[in-house]
Amino acid sequence: MAASQDSKGLTLTVLGSGTMGIAIMGGVMASLAAAKTQAAISDAPKDTPNLQNFVACDAWAPAEEKVKAALGHYNFSLTTLTNKNLEGIQKGDIILLSCKPHIFKDILGEEGVRDALKGKIIVSILAGVTQEQIEGFLYPDGPPADACRVVRVMPNTASFVRESMSVIQTSTPPLKPEQHKLVEFIFSSIGRVVTLPPALMDISTALCGSGPAFFALVLEAAADAGVAMGLPRAEAQIMAAQTMRGTTGLVLEGGEHPAILRDKVSTPGGCTIGGLLALEEGGVRGAFSRAVREATCVASQLGQGVKNVNGTRR
Ligand SMILES: NC(=O)C1=CN([C@@H]2O[C@H](COP(=O)(O)OP(=O)(O)OC[C@H]3O[C@@H](n4cnc5c(N)ncnc54)[C@H](OP(=O)(O)O)[C@@H]3O)[C@@H](O)[C@H]2O)C=CC1
Ligand SMILES: O=C(O)[C@@H]1CCC=N1
Q: What is the ipTM, given to two decimal places?
A: 0.99
For atom 6 of ligand 2, which residue has the closest CA? 209
pLDDT for the residue 59: 98
Cα–Cα dist 19/186, whole Å:
17
| pLDDT tens for the chain, residues 1 to 314 | 543 444 589 999 999 999 999 999 999 999 999 988 887 777 655 677 899 999 999 999 999 999 999 999 998 999 999 999 999 999 999 999 999 999 999 999 999 999 999 999 999 999 999 999 999 999 999 999 999 999 999 999 999 999 999 999 999 999 999 999 999 999 999 999 999 999 999 999 999 999 999 999 999 999 999 999 999 999 999 999 999 999 999 999 999 999 999 999 999 999 999 999 999 999 999 999 999 999 999 999 999 988 889 987 76
Q: Which amino acid is at 215?
A: F
Say if ligand 1 is within 6 A of residue 99 CB. yes
What does the pLDDT read at residue 3? Answer: 39
CA distance 33 to 28: 8
State CA 37 to chain mean position distance. Answer: 25
- Write out the H or E segment, with its range, that includes residue 249: helix 233-252
b/e per residue 16-47 (b: at least 16 CB within 10 A): bbbebbbbbbbbbbbbbeeeeeeeeeeeeeee
Q: Strand 51-58 relative to strand 149-154: parallel, antiparallel, unpaired? A: unpaired
Kindly list the protein residues whose Cβ atom lies closer than 6 A to any atom of ligand 2. 127, 205, 209-210
| Atom nearest to 154 CA in ligand 2 | 6
Asked whether the beta carbons of 168 and 193 are under 8 A apart, the reply is: yes
Nearest by Cα to 95 from 59, 125, 69, 131: 125
Residue 78's SS3 state is strand
Atom of ligand 1 nearest to the CA of 155: 47
156 CA distance to ligand 2 middle (Å):
9
pLDDT of residue 110: 98
Ligand nearest the Cα of residue 23 is: 1
Q: Given this model, what pLDDT does residue 312 score? A: 78
Whole-number Å distance between alpha carbons of 53 and 13 = 8
Terminal CA-CA length for the chain: 48
Q: Is 20 annotated as a binding residue?
A: yes
Q: Whose CA is nearest to atom 3 of ligand 2?
A: 127
